[in-house]
Amino acid sequence: MTKLAANLTMLFTELPFMERFRAAAQAGFRGVEFLFPYSFDAEQIAEQLKRNELELVLHNLPAGNWDAGERGIACHPDRTAEFREGVEEAIRYAGVLGVSQLNCLVGILPPGVSAEVARLTLIVNLKFAAEKLKAEGIRLLIEPINYFDIPGFYLNTTKQAVELIMATGSDNIFVQYDIYHMQRMEGELAGTIKANLSLIRHVQLADNPGRFEPGTGEINYRFLFSLLEQLGYDGWIGCEYKPKAGTQEGLGWRAAHGL
């Protein structure tokens, strides 16, 4: 059965953050995700989850100064100590919020840093994070992101993500497969999902072009939902899209896609 989680960073933004949990529950979602919890009190978020009978399925590790344009620091060789502090902070929040997987945004390649140095830094940081999270029963995810939306982002393809995982030697690092990003970067969605299903632990969606809700663009989501079910994917699918004309107004795509 397809399990959809509302991304509260992008959906229900007509409301203050703490009110989005109730709106998501009223709209029929049983799971939620968001980018970061760190500017909020963990206990307050936990209360909203409990009150609205929602499961938090994912959030990210701290990713540097987001408002200044940073998109992760895991590939930054001069910020390893900051990365490790962020892992510890994420574990503290995860313990309160009951989340079982955390995503690492690896970051934009820093000026003056070679791709090889960034790769070696990333491998060390991922191994550290994976070990720390495993001790707490939490999976670590990494997410390839298209370089049209985030120029210079270090991790862009499924193949690169799998190669990084293999290079770490860890059994606690998996792929967060964002259909929108991978449609823009590599296409061949069905074949890639089939080939890498054993490493895919979270899926996110948006249509292309525009990153709007399914049914507004070129991606055949009815086919992909059916495929994921046939393959036995039992994880969550995060709805990380920009509503084209308001969140509630756009939710009809679920019924239109047989969900």
Per residue in 197-214, pLDDT tens?
A: 999 999 999 999 999 999
**pLDDT of amino acid 42:** 98
Residue 28 is predicted with a pLDDT of 98
Summarised one tens digit per residue, pLDDT across range 87-113 is: 999 999 999 999 999 999 999 999 999
- Residues linked to residue 153 through DSSP beta bridges, in sequence order: 108
Contact 114, 87 (CB under 8 A): no
121: closest CA among 143, 102, 104?
104
Identify the bridge partners of residue 55 per DSSP, sorted by sequence position. 31
In the chain, which residues have pLDDT < 50?
none
Closest by CA to 146, choosing from 68, 211, 65, 200, is: 211
Q: Are 215 and 257 in contact (CB under 8 A)?
A: yes
How high is the pLDDT of residue 1? 82
pTM (2 d.p.): 0.97
Q: Do residues 54 and 30 touch, judged by C-beta distance below 8 A? A: yes
Which of left, alpha, beta for 195 (phi over 0: left; psi -120 to 50: alpha)?
alpha
Catalytic residues: 143, 240
